[in-house]
Amino acid sequence: MASQAIQNQIALAEDLKRYLHGFQERLSTAGQSYKNKSSSLYEAGMFDEFQKKFEQEFVQQTTQSISQVVERINDCDIPFIERYIAKLEDTLSVL
């Protein structure tokens, strides 16, 4: 019974890890889409002064924040989940 509960916890943690990998990809894609949209403003006729100011003051900061979230997930969240899975697997091996 305990081993089934631990296996369930492992499966849930692995599911969370897969979700986070996909979430990172979606965030990265959103950041790139935002950059692309900003760049396309000038091509669509947006005043150069507005587009450049918008790019420098907002788009760069926002995409940098998105990149930091992606890095944090990679450097902190996922390793924590991996350590949790390893601990559960160790527990399972002694049962």
pLDDT for the residue 8: 97
Q: What are the extents of the domains in the chain?
A: 2-94
Secondary structure in 3-state letters for the chain = CHHHHHHHHHHHHHHHHHHHHHHHHHHHHHHHHHHHHHHHHHHCCCCHHHHHHHHHHHHHHHHHHHHHHHHHHHHHHHHHHHHHHHHHHHHHHHC
Q: Of the given ranges (7-21, 36-50, 81-95), which has the lowest mean pLDDT?
A: 36-50
Provide the pLDDT confidence category of residue 78 given band limits of 50, 70 and 90.
Answer: very high
pTM of this structure: 0.86
Instruction: Write the pLDDT tens digit of every residue in 36-75.
Output: 998 898 888 889 888 888 999 999 999 999 999 999 999 9
Summary mean pLDDT of the chain: 94
- Gap between the Cα atoms of 28 and 32, Å rounded: 6
pLDDT for the residue 84: 98
